[in-house]
Chains A and B, each alone.
Chain A
Amino acid sequence: MTALDDRGGLEAQFAEWRHYVQRRPELRTSDAEELEDHLRGSVEELTALGLRAEEAFLVAVKRMGGLDELSREFAREHSERLWKQLVLTGEADSPAADSRARRDLLALVVCAAGAAVSVKLPALFGMSLADDAGFYGRNIALFALPWLAAFLAWRRQVGPALIGVLVGLFALGAVAANVYPLAEDSQSVVLTAIHLTIALWFAVGLAYVADDLRSSRRHMDFIRFTGEWFVYLALMAAGGGVLTAFTFGTFRAIGIVPEDAIQQWLLPCGAAAAVVVAGWLVEAKQSVVENIAPVLARLFTPLFAATLLAFLITFGFNSSGIDVEREALILFDLLLVVVLGLLLYSISAREPLAPPGLFDRLQLALVAAALAIDVLVLVEIAGRISEYGTTPNKTAALGENVILLANLAWSAWLLLSFIRHRQPFSALERWQTSYLPVYAAWGWAVALLFPPLFGYA
């Protein structure tokens, strides 16, 4: 072996060693470099004593001791490293990741500012939050979501065709929100606000899965994204509430009541910006922090299952009928949404190849209980509608109910087949991801078709 070969082999060994060291969360890149320098010093000394490079390397590594022990010692001094920190900028380990994070942050600032400005833009045309609640309500999805979609599209470097589709969808949303002559207090204003938000959220989803439109894995990722985004938004809303309270309190203490500043500026602009910031947070911390939505789902699945079963049993003994006013129908819709959410986020975190377990049975019980309750509600409501006629609200609530019911019924069947080892778990996963377009289609249908269908009521 020539000296040159020796050197190349040694470098390869160093590279491999570096690779091992860098996988340790306790050891930063600078630590790895420092330790490598130490190792090199050791190797140099040993080769000077007459050892071949390869032997010297082995001895030097052996002297340094096991990486486990070394990491443990480092962890004792740097315990904060075991708490994975979300690195905003400037501290990422590699320069490439660092500049990427910086560019992300810049794009985020632009998009969040854009969202905040969008909220105030109508004010230039004489609109105000206080007086034109109907306008703001119908357009609520159009202030922040385009900016979130833009941020995601920018990150995914979306091609021109898809950008065209996204622009088209948001333009269609703007049309749906603004062309119909809806009265300020008509039911359709609220319906449009809710359903356009659902429809456009899936436009955001399109931007999210832009790198692989058809992959069901990516669709599942979007479901995960949605859950985490929601959790982050809720956390930010809590923080925003504290900020608002202090703003109000401190200014009032010096004799100024900042009601307008808070209601006209802080809250709406903050909320719009938070929508984008939450999306950025999920993207940035994807691999850094444990997903929280699945944890919540696992925590609450047994509790919800117990509550629903208790409700069914009580209903069976009591049998005074369910009060299905509109509020109750919406309540049961939301119940199905929650059950679906629990199911979705448990699925999103489940190892697809794991055999069926107790938790899967618990889930089946939850879904079955929800289905049973919903059937009772549907029977009741069908009678009411045939008796008193329908309204946009009732129809929308009923439609949602049917969509969720169909999803959950088939999910229950797939869960049962899975528990009885007839179907792989991935069938359930695929069912959920392929059902996503149905929600989007329903959202568009309500926003676009309901106002003319019901005479702009």
Chain B
Amino acid sequence: MKVTKDLVAASATPIVLGILAEGESYGYAILKRISELSGGELDWTEGLLYPLLHRLERLGHVESAWQAVAGERRRKYYRITDGGLAELAEQRRQWDTVVDALKKVWQDAGDLGTRTARPLEGLA
């Protein structure tokens, strides 16, 4: 199972902000972390990640700096800002609402696997 593109795009910002909230990081490591978190189910591309990082930087949610950590290549590290933390909190609130609603509706509906769709009645 792969998560659809729309869903990946919608969840992109909170996931990146969440990862950066754990500590500063760089592009390749962020992708690795996403793959790790989702068990490889979230299909992220570089074309999604880097422009997103740049957008978050433009919006002031993250800041970046080229740094050379001892023994490694010079890399562009991203760090979350206070504004980014606030945005993450807000996104989290919204996602909690969505997830709660989904959980409830799925609970009410019971086990989806055993149900079949019913045609609409009374319209003919």
A residues sitting closer than 8 Å to B (CB atoms) are 30-31, 33-35, 37-38, 40-42, 64-65, 69-70, 72-74, 76-78
Contact = CB atoms under 8 A, between A and B. Distances in A.
Given A34-B76, A37-B76, 4 more contacts: A33-B76, A37-B27, A37-B73, A70-B47
Nearest to B47: A73
A77 B27 contact: no
Nearest to A66: B47
A34 B75 CA distance: 7
B28 interface: yes
Contacts, number: 51
11 contacts: A37-B27, A37-B74, A37-B75, A38-B28, A69-B47, A70-B47, A73-B45, A73-B50, A77-B51, A77-B52, A77-B58
B54 interface: yes
Contacts of B29: 41
The bracket for how many chain B residues form the interface is 20 to 34
Given A34-B50, A35-B46, A65-B47, A77 B55 contact: yes
Contact of A72 (B27, B47, B73, B75): B47
Given A33-B76, A65-B45, A74 B28 contact: no
Interface string B25-69: 011110100000000000001111011101100100000001000
B45 to A, nearest CB: 6
Given A38-B28, A41-B28, A65-B45, A74 B50 contact: yes
A37 B26 contact: yes
A76 B50 CA distance: 11
Interface of B: 26-29, 31, 45-48, 50-52, 54-55, 58, 66, 73-76
B63 to A, nearest CB: 14
Contacts of A33: 76
Given A40-B73, A74-B51, A78-B54, A65 B28 contact: no
A35 B50 contact: yes
A58 to B, nearest CB: 16
Contact of A73 (B51, B73, B75): B51
A41 B26 CA distance: 11
- Name the 6 nearest CB pairs between A and B, nearest first: A73-B47, A41-B28, A77-B51, A70-B47, A38-B28, A34-B76
Contacts of B28: 37-38, 41-42
Contacts of A34: 27, 50, 76
A42 to B, nearest CB: 7
Contacts of A77: 51-52, 54-55, 58
Q: Which of A38, A69, A72, A73 has the most CB of B within 10 A?
A: A38
Contact of A38 (B27, B48, B55, B74): B27
Contacts of B52: 77
Contacts of A42: 28
A74 B31 CA distance: 17
A76 B51 contact: yes
Contacts of B76: 30, 33-34, 37
Contacts of B47: 65, 69-70, 72-74
B10 to A, nearest CB: 16
A57 to B, nearest CB: 15
A69 B55 CA distance: 18
Contacts of B26: 37
Contacts of A73: 45, 47-48, 50-51
